[in-house]
């Protein structure tokens, strides 16, 4: 099956790392198609970037779904940018990595913590936690890392993520950790071994959820809010 993984920001090096992380868990026979839009914000850090990223994301989904071979789409941005609109326009299931990671963490223990990038992303993620019914079980921490610092091994970003995880375990008693940025996707396994608690990445969790839905023969319900957009001038 072909799984579309869309990084809604325009940083190609990040898309390549997201695609590589997705391929580490994809089942034999699953093909990961990792893309980003040609224009839009280079990283998504707050509500303004989120809004600007949505048209490019939707265009990529429509373009890749046209030939009918995509079994499901992963939105590889932890803000679950454009998730509802994507579910409307797509015919195959669409999974956001925040929802995938929070649902996965909820299966691993009681309290979990999200460690994201900058403080400006925290309010949006608190809203998502509420939306997904997870607000009572998790707290969102910022590691103080700009998204694109994760692309630079010399930036010290990974050490700041480590420090954020330690703080979350000590302060919150978090029993598992969710990595709050798609640019952290390749860190989950090594940090799980290092930190002594499960560390969940949403990209890989979402790939496995798409595969599960496909295996179960389930798709997005289209009789309500996710009905296909009506034809009209736009």
Q: Which residue ranges make up the site for ligand 5HY (CB under 6 A)?
A: 9, 43-45, 77-79, 116-118, 121, 147, 181-183
φ, ψ of residue 73 in degrees (nearest 5): -125, 140
CB 231 → ligand 5HY: shortest distance, Å?
A: 32
**Nearer residue to ligand 5HY within complex by CB, 206 or 214:** 206
CB 111 → ligand 5HY: shortest distance, Å?
A: 21
**Nearer residue to ligand 5HY within complex by CB, 25 or 44:** 44
List the structure tokens of 38: 């040609």
Neighbours of 215 (CB within 10 A): 11
**Nearer residue to ligand 5HY within complex by CB, 79 or 99:** 79
What is the C-alpha separation between 175 and 172, in angstroms, rounded?
Answer: 9
Residue 77: which of 183, 149, 177 has the closest Cα? 183
What is the C-alpha separation between 94 and 187, in angstroms, rounded?
Answer: 24
CB 101 → ligand 5HY: shortest distance, Å?
A: 10
**Nearer residue to ligand 5HY within complex by CB, 110 or 156:** 156
What is the C-alpha separation between 121 and 49, in angstroms, rounded?
Answer: 11
What is the C-alpha separation between 80 and 98, in angstroms, rounded?
Answer: 6
**Nearer residue to ligand 5HY within complex by CB, 41 or 214:** 41
CB 162 → ligand 5HY: shortest distance, Å?
A: 17
CB 116 → ligand 5HY: shortest distance, Å?
A: 5
**Integer-rounded Cα radius of gyration of the chain:** 17
**Nearer residue to ligand 5HY within complex by CB, 129 or 214:** 129
What is the C-alpha separation between 147 and 162, in angstroms, rounded?
Answer: 15
Sequence-ordered alpha helix ranges (H) in the chain: 12-25, 47-65, 83-89, 97-106, 122-131, 157-172, 188-195, 202-216
CB 66 → ligand 5HY: shortest distance, Å?
A: 26
**Nearer residue to ligand 5HY within complex by CB, 37 or 183:** 183
The helix or strand, by DSSP H or E, that contains position 146, with its residue range, turns out to be none
CB 34 → ligand 5HY: shortest distance, Å?
A: 14
What is the C-alpha separation between 45 and 35, in angstroms, rounded?
Answer: 19
């Amino acid at each position: 099956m072909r799984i579309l993984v869309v990084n809604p920001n325009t940083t190609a090096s990040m898309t390549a790392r997201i695609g590589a992380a997705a391929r580490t868990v994809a089942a034999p026979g699953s093909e990961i198609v990792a893309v980003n839009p040609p224009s839009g914000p280079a990283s998504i850090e707050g509500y303004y970037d989120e809004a600007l990223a949505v048209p490019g994301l939707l265009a990529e989904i429509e373009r890749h779904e046209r030939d009918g071979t995509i079994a499901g789409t992963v939105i590889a941005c932890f803000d679950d940018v454009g998730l509802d609109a994507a579910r409307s326009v797509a015919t195959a299931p669409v999974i956001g990595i925040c929802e995938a990671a929070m649902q996965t963490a909820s299966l691993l223990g009681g309290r979990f913590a999200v460690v994201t990038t900058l403080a400006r992303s925290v309010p949006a993620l608190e809203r998502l936690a509420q939306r997904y019914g997870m607000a009572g079980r998790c707290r969102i921490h910022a590691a103080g890392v700009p998204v694109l610092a994760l692309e630079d091994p010399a930036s010290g970003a990974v050490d700041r993520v480590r420090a954020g995880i330690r703080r979350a375990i000590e302060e919150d008693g978090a029993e598992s950790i969710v990595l709050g940025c798609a640019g952290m996707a390749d860190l989950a396994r090594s940090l799980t071994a290092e930190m002594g608690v499960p560390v969940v990445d949403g990209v890989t969790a979402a790939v496995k959820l798409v595969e599960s839905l496909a295996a179960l023969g389930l798709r997005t319900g289209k009789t309500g809010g996710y009905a296909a957009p009506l034809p009209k001038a736009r």
